[in-house]
Every structure is written in C-alpha cells, then in structure tokens.
Structure 1
C-alpha cells in the first residue's frame, strides 16, 4: 500500500477571531466543541434550520479566540456568509483566508503517517469519514513546493488522475456537491460521528434529533456496483417502475468488474432484495448494493 496526496487548494478556509467565536460556533454546528478549548481539532457540521448540510468543517484552534475553519464546500463565500448570518452583537470577525493557504489531502494512509506530519510546519488534522481517515495539511501558500517535495521524499506520491475519486467512492466518503448539500441531512450522509447527542441546542438540532429518535431517516448513502457508466449524473436508480434512489458519483475500478458508485437509496427499500437498475442509453444498467 502507498499513500498519495491530492492538492485541494482553494477550498473554503475561514478564520473566526474574537472572544465569542467558539461560543457562536458551538451554537450553530452539530458537534461538541468544548474539546477545542484544550487544543483539540474537531470535525463538525453546519446545518440549516431544516437540518440540512451547509458545510462540513474541521475546527483548528489557534488560541481560544482564534479559530481556523477548513471547510468541505468549494465555495468560500458560503461558509463565511453562513457564519456571519448569526453574528449580531458578538465580538467576532469572520475572514476568508482561503487565498493564504495551500491545502493537501493525504489518503490511503499508512500506519506510520503520524511519525512525520508534525515536521511539515503549518496545520494538520486527521479527518474521520466513517471507517476512513484523511490527513488534511494546511500552510502558507509560499511553502507548498517544499511540502510537496518533502512528501515525495517520504514516499507519498501525487495522485494519478481519478485516483482520489476512486478511493473516495470506494470508501463511501461523501463530497460536495454530489453527496453533501442542503438537499441532504447528516444522518442520510452517514455523518453520525460528527454529531453530539448530549450538547445543547444548535441550528437544525430539533429536526436531526427527531429524525433519529423516531427513525424517520428516509434515505441513506450507500456504495454501489455498476456494470457500466450510465452517462450523466445524477441518475435515477429504479426498482421496476419506481424510483428508489439516486446515483451521485461513479468511478471505474482497476479490475474488469465495472464501476463503483455512491448514491442515496430509500431506507424502506434497503430491507428488500429487489433488483436495481439505471436507465442509461438503450439498455438499463444493472446496479447492486455493496
């Protein structure tokens, strides 16, 4: 196994400064951020009042009143604007610092990866996505060449075209805008691990709690095996004449077994054994759950 990195510079990076920064973020996101006070880095989700996903962020403390937020949404204005929406009288300044940082994701991590990350300078955060872990590296844009060179010396290669997408889909990692957006809530997207069930209220908390308590989650993200690419995405997943889901991402595998995909399937259908297909081109494309 070999680790690789992908350059994702340009994704949302926002700085929150001011004595009320942590308190506000605690009130508008899903996870308990009290650990940030002791220097811990925490993944959390910004949700709207319907409990839908606005952004998934890693919170990196630079002191109690200075937080760096590394978002997943590729549009920095969304993250900045959403936070500013809730700033009224608080001592908080929200700044888009995306242009000041490089951002690399190391994936397919080897066990010894933790031995070197602290030598690179800048910031790092291990992000848990289900059973997979990504290492996000951030630092001053002027140092990116030296960091990439150092990664190469450690045997961490630059990703080949499509390699990260195949890794992401094969491991069930959702991404904007295909699986993460205000169309979906965190429970549908499999992000339960970024939700605290014991903290106080936050934006969208009542909806998310009700969905969990009464088992009302209508669809779930799943990995899929496809015979061939259906063409345009997203594509409706059918069972007989009824739409039961949506294929959102697809990538070809190295072997001769077709493609792997990510999509959302109605939870009521996941308990059945009915055949699935996508109507692509002249013939339906057969789909199976992984």
Structure 2
C-alpha cells in the first residue's frame, strides 16, 4: 500500500481536474456463489439485492442485529457470483460473520479472494477517457455500480469516493501491465495519503472511526445504501423504527477547523458537549475533520469548539441523511 508516490500535489490536482489512479488492492474482496447468493445477501445487509441484475451493483451496509455498523461494502452482481469489496480491516471479520448465517439448506459459498485480485480506482473528471481506451464504452454514463467484464478486467462505475470515476477489478497477474498502461495513458498515481485526505473531505466513513458499534447507518449518513421497503433483514426493525419515528439522535458531518485537534476530542457548543471528532486531516486548505453531532445542536453552519480550536460544521458530498 503506497502511502505516497512523492507527487501528492499532482495526484490531488489530477483527482480534482483530470484522472488519478489509486491502488486499493489492500482492500478486502469476498466472492459469494451458490444459487441462494442473492437472497442471502438481501437478508444480511441494508440494500435491495433482489432488484439487481448481472452487470449491476450497489453500496450496502452490514449491520448487527441492533443496527450498529460493521462495514460499508460495494457489491457487484455477475452471472454466477456477487463480488463484495469491503474495507481493508474487515474481510476476515465479515467472512466469519456471514458464515454464521449460512444454514444447512442454504446454497451459498463464501471465498475470501483478497490478495488474488487487484483493485484500482480511477478518480477524476477525465476517467471516462481512459475507460474508453480500455473498450468499456457501454458503462459510460450508466448508474453507479454498473460494470462490464473486458479481457478479464471488470470495470465498474464509481471510484469509491464522491468524485466521479471507475473501479477496476483485475487478476493480480495482469495488474502490473494494466497499471502501466493506464499511467502511460495519462493517469497520475495517487497514494493512500491523498485517498485518506479525499475520503475525509468528502465524508466517506470507515470502520473503527465513523463506522463502529456506537453508530447506525442513518447516523453515518448512508441513507443511499438503505432500502426501506424490502422487508426483513438483520437490523431492519431498528432502522425502520428510527426512520419512522425520526429517532436519529446524531449525524455525521464535516467540520472545517482553524487548527489541529485530536481524534476523539469532544465537539462543544459553548459549555455543552454535542459530539465527537472521528477523523482529521491537514491539507493545503487547512484542517478538516469528520464528527458526529447531536441532531438538536444543529447542522451546516454551526460554530463549534473542538479541543483547543474552533470550527464550522459543513456538508460533505458522500453523505445523505434524513432529518432527525
């Protein structure tokens, strides 16, 4: 996992105005097969798998029985399997967790293929130009998660961030050649440091920071991953109750900060604690954080104190939320 290619400013510029390429092969990937695979995943996570056809995909959240978040995953439905891209530190846990819910009569098999498959993200407004060079013209302009297999490379709409782009799933033996070809075609290599900066600035939550057993997907701003009309699944009753009775007590927000602060610091309004800082990053535009803030305290525009510094609550593009 390269932290940086020594070109952070160029990579950031490319992600914003051109095309950057990020190696996400340290993320987990789980392959789900068997004739019951769609029904199984439909019952184990928040999104509606039964509406998906081969060549389509979605983001979904795995939650506990009390709707606490385990991970935000991206699923791609193929003719004979579902591929799940999961967070780097979650594939082993999710393998064990999902296996617990496979019963004797279920025709479902799980395979952890992390390390056997490379994952690249093309990030930026000019990503479609490179995808065209790969020959995947059919997915350009299609909905998020739409994917196509070309010469053993699966190309999917969506960069993993709020920035437009594509995700490439590649057998490891072909990964170096594909990377070289894309860089020669104009993609600027981007290390994990800029990925982390972008994911905080855009509001993508991750496990152990924004996604923990302290928070549910509605609080985490993952409304776009939840189907409210698909019926029973693990955690469904709690999520439905929170939605129906406006029971979301806190929301994840971006926070523009005047100086650095420690992760875990209390977010204050006057003498009142209204939340907690979960992530922070320094960029050329200053310090920026993510944090949970009580719904009744307010939202965008709220002035806050975090540790020894001050800040302002702002919207971030990755998140969608309901009123509390």
Q: TM-score of the superposition, structure 2-length normalised?
A: 0.80
The match for 2:209 among 166, 178, 189 is 178
Q: Against the structure 1 CA distance between its residues 58 and 137, is the aligned structure 2 distance closer, same or farther, given a 3 Å change threshold?
A: same
The unaligned stretches of length 5 or more in structure 2 are: 1-16, 137-149, 315-324
- Distance of 1:131 and 1:273 partners within structure 2: 21
- Distance of 2:248 and 2:155 partners within structure 1: 33
- RMSD of the TM alignment (CA)? 2.3
- Distance of 1:223 and 1:194 partners within structure 2: 19
2:19 matches 1:3: yes
- Distance of 2:263 and 2:157 partners within structure 1: 30
User: 1:259 is matched with which residue?
Assistant: 287
Contact preservation (8 Å) 2:302, 2:312 = no
Q: Against the structure 1 CA distance between its residues 207 and 169, is the aligned structure 2 distance closer, same or farther, given a 3 Å change threshold?
A: same
Q: Using the TM superposition, give the Cα deviation of residue 182 of structure 1 relative to its aligned residue in structure 2, in angstroms.
A: 2.6
User: 1:84 is matched with which residue?
Assistant: 99
Alignment: residue pair count: 282
The unaligned stretches of length 5 or more in structure 1 are: none
Indicate the SS of the match to 1:268.
helix
- Distance of 2:24 and 2:46 partners within structure 1: 25
Contact preservation (8 Å) 2:72, 2:206 = no
2:71 matches 1:55: yes
The match for 1:145 among 151, 158, 176 is 176
Contact preservation (8 Å) 2:264, 2:278 = yes
- Distance of 1:73 and 1:214 partners within structure 2: 35
User: 2:305 is matched with which residue?
Assistant: 277
Indicate the SS of the match to 2:297.
coil
- Distance of 1:250 and 1:191 partners within structure 2: 20
User: 1:234 is matched with which residue?
Assistant: 264
After superposition, residues 9-88 of structure 1 pair within 5 angstroms as 9-64=25-80, 66-88=81-103
Q: Using the TM superposition, give the Cα deviation of residue 201 of structure 1 relative to its aligned residue in structure 2, in angstroms.
A: 0.9
- Distance of 2:215 and 2:160 partners within structure 1: 16
Q: Against the structure 1 CA distance between its residues 78 and 104, is the aligned structure 2 distance closer, same or farther, given a 3 Å change threshold?
A: same
Post-superposition CA distance 1:168-190 (Å, at most 9, x none)? 22222222221123322111111
Q: Against the structure 1 CA distance between its residues 272 and 125, is the aligned structure 2 distance closer, same or farther, given a 3 Å change threshold?
A: closer
Q: Against the structure 1 CA distance between its residues 73 and 52, is the aligned structure 2 distance closer, same or farther, given a 3 Å change threshold?
A: farther
Contact preservation (8 Å) 1:169, 1:251 = yes
Post-superposition CA distance 1:221-275 (Å, at most 9, x none)? 1111111111x322221222322111111122214xx211111111110169764
User: 1:243 is matched with which residue?
Assistant: 273
Q: TM-score of the superposition, structure 1-length normalised?
A: 0.88
After superposition, residues 59-208 of structure 1 pair within 5 angstroms as 59-64=75-80, 66-89=81-104, 90-110=106-126, 112-113=128-129, 114-116=131-133, 118=136, 121-127=152-158, 132-160=163-191, 162-208=193-239
Contact preservation (8 Å) 2:58, 2:74 = yes
- Distance of 2:291 and 2:160 partners within structure 1: 16
